[in-house]
Amino acid sequence: MYHVLVVVDPFHSFTNQQISIPFAHLNTSSLVFSSSSTSLSLEEFDFSVSNELATLTCKMATGIHGLASLIQFTSNVFAAKSSSSSSSSYCCNRVILMKNPWFLTGNKSIRASKKTRIGSNKIELDDRLFTTKTTTSDEMGEGFFQAIEELERMVREPADVLEEMNNKLSPRELQLVLVYFSQEGRDSWCALEVFEWLNKENKVDKETMELMISIMCGWVKKLIQGEYSDVGDVVDLLVDMDCVGLKPNFSMIEKVISLYWEMGKKEDAVLFVKEVLRRGISYGVDNHGETKNNKGGPTGYLAWKMMVDGSYTDAVRLVLNFKEYGLKPEVDSYLIAMTAVVKELNEFSKALRKLKGFVKAGLVAELDVENVTFIEKYQSDLLSRGVRLSNWVIEEGSSLHSAAVHERLLAMYICAGRGLEAEEELWKMKLLGKEPGRELYDIVIAICASQKETSAVTRLLTGMEVSSSKCRKKTLLWLLRGFVKGGHYQDASNTIIKMLDMGLSPEYLDRAAVLQGLRKSIQESGNVEPYLKLCKHLSDANLIGPCLVYMYIDRYQLWVLKLV
């Protein structure tokens, strides 16, 4: 084991003193800072890095004036810092470090391994920053240590210090300045101001940007995972990022929401998105002007997360509530909420069909009037919410959103079994140049047939004759099944006859269902003609055998048999 002991007198300056100890002769991996009355043990260094960088760390620890006073960082210092920053040309809501105590407690050492740590959180940094051969302690000039010293004193603005020492600091040294102040226990506010100065001086390259983003991500993660985490602190940090020229992109907003969600802090996720909208925090988009994964920004992404969990109504209420509170959700979030309406209607329809099956099997009692009214109201409320969302998309969106709106409205009406409304959306989509698939026409035909909307069925069947034989058969089968579902067996029989005349063969189960329905209607009305007519056509097509009709005359006690 190796040991290093550094004694610091808080009343003495070490401006020109440096200690460089070959690590081959050390006996411990810990540093101890001591004043006349105070001794503070710091966490151990990570000595997995090169000897050069570890030696550099020792130089920084001993060559910085006033480092021991950082241990006694108080709110008075922050008050002085705030007053000295009031003359800045911009107005930002800086993250108040005393408000976030995790910035001030814990590790006071500089960890310079491939993964720089803030508290217990790992921030992935660019390995090249620490492993290139050019980054050695010998190549770190005096300007680097002087810059750290001046910035630690907090006597002047960081921008003034860096401007004065601009020519003495290399790009790699400036990156290490960022790393130094990003450490837990350092002045993270200073790290933001250092980056702001770099940005104004056009000294932010891709590597520096990635470094700062990783630092900010670590801070955000630490705030969220804190025991007494405050959503306002996270939003404040995003505001500060924007102020210093590090605009939060959508991926960062997405990660914050995901982190809240994965930790079970769903209410905090809602509060975070609401605060982002309230403050009008902007976020970056990709080269095509769209957010990542087309989730519609913060509101849309949160609604999408709710949909993934199956909370469709919560997703709809989220968007509606934000809009009603006077916030401005992104247009795409309305479309995502409409998708949630479609999914909820679909699940509701499945549950309703299952319930009707239980009633038919005698497992549950028939639905009374009150329950039927409740079911219809719930479905109508969902549809009305979907229509409201569609109106907002049309009002606030562009013509590019129109087709998507009518597509979702069509899906809503199909799930709700609204034939005429669904037909209207089909024609609107066609007028917009977005031709619906043939299967959508067939589904709407079946719905209209079940409701015996004869005019709508006639309109939708227009052009069927010019389609292929396979498409005609499929369309007529949907029509047939729609009539069967609605109990319109006479119309279903006529559809089968029409198919036979066109040389198309109905499926066996469809034929059997229609014949069974016609037999029941004979018992109710006594009219056998529709049944016999269908049987004759099926027999002529060799789909069934000849039909024997038995007639019994009571007066003569006579049975009459006829082969049809």
Q: What is the pLDDT of residue 128?
A: 37
pLDDT at 57: 38
Task: Inform me whether the pLDDT recorded for 282 exceeds 60.
Answer: yes
Cα torsion through 355, 361, 365, 367, rounded to 10: 40
Tell me, rounded to whole angstroms, the distance of Cα 2 from its chain centroid. Answer: 50
In tens, the pLDDT along 516-563 reads 999 999 888 888 889 999 999 999 999 988 888 788 888 888 888 877
Cα atoms found within 13 Å of the Cα of residue 81, Cβ hemisphere only: 21
Least confident residue range of 196-200, 340-344, 430-434: 196-200
Contact 107, 185 (CB under 8 A): yes
How far apart are the C-alpha atoms of 236 and 307, rounded to whole Å? 28
Question: What six digits make up the tokens of 467?
Answer: 């389609």
Q: Is 281 exposed, middle or buried (0-12, 13-18, 19+ CB in 10 A)?
A: middle
Cβ pair 514, 493 in contact under 8 A: yes
Can you tell me the distance from the alpha carbon of 54 to that of 49, in angstroms, rounded to the nearest whole number?
Answer: 7
- Please give the mean pLDDT across all residues of the chain: 75
* Planar angle of CA 540, 543, 544, nearest 5 degrees: 85
Using only the alpha carbons of the chain, give its radius of gyration. Answer: 38
CA 443/CA 432 separation, integer angstroms: 20
- 3-state SS assignment for residue 500: helix
pLDDT at 141: 66
Q: Which pLDDT does position 81 carry in this prediction?
A: 35
- Residue among 352, 365, 358, 300 at smallest CA distance from 329: 300
Give the C-alpha separation, 321 to 382, whole Å.
15
Quote the tokens at residue 437.
Answer: 């698939």
Mean pLDDT along residues 66-79: 32
Q: Please, are residues 96 and 237 in contact by the beta-carbon 8 Å criterion?
A: no
CA within 13 Å, CB half, 131: 8
* Percentage with pLDDT > 70 across the chain: 72
Query: What average pLDDT does this structure show over 55-73?
Result: 36
HEC secondary structure over 337-400: HHHHHHHHHHHHHHHHHHHHHHHHCCCCCCCCHHHHHHHHHHHHHHHHHHHHHHHHHHHHCCHH
Answer yes or no: is pLDDT of 355 > 90: yes
SS3 call for 191:
helix
User: Distance (Å, rounded) from C-alpha 425 to C-alpha 275?
Assistant: 37
Highest mean pLDDT among 179-188, 298-307, 540-549: 298-307
- How much is the pLDDT for 185? 66
Q: What is the pTM of this model?
A: 0.70
Q: Does the pLDDT at position 10 exceed 60?
A: no
Q: What pLDDT was estimated at residue 422?
A: 96
Higher pLDDT, 160 or 26: 160
φ, ψ of residue 559 in degrees (nearest 5): -100, 130
Lowest mean per-residue pLDDT among 188-202, 262-276, 467-481: 188-202
Summarize pLDDT for 90-147 with one digit per residue, the tens.
334 443 333 333 333 333 333 233 233 333 333 333 343 343 334 444 456 677 888 8
- 227-258 per-position pLDDT tens digit: 777 899 999 888 888 888 777 777 788 889 99
The secondary structure of 229-260 as a DSSP string is --HHHHHHHHHHHHHTT-PPBHHHHHHHHHHH
Is residue 323 within 8 A of residue 361, CB to CB? The reply is: no
Residues 6+ apart with CB under 8 A from 119: 102, 106, 107, 184, 222
What string of DSSP letters covers 68-113? GGGGG--HHHHHHHHHHTTTSSS---PPPGGGSGGGTSS--SPP-S
pLDDT reported for residue 84: 39
Q: What percent of the chain has pLDDT over 90?
A: 40
Cross-strand bridge partners of residue 563:
548
Kindly provide the b/e burial profile for residues 402-437, where b requires at least 16 CB atoms within 10 angstroms of the residue's own CB. Answer: bebbbbbbbbbbbbbbbbebbbbbbebbeeeeeebe
- Calculate mean pLDDT across residues 13-24: 36
Spatial distance between the Cα atoms of 332 and 360, rounded to a whole number of angstroms: 42
Phi, psi values for residue 194, rounded to 5°: -65, -45
Find, among 563, 528, 531, 527, the residue nearest to 547 by Cα. 563
Residue 60 — very low, low, confident or very high, per pLDDT cuts 50/70/90?
Answer: very low
Residue 168, pLDDT above cutoff 70: yes
- The pLDDT of residue 188 is above 90: no
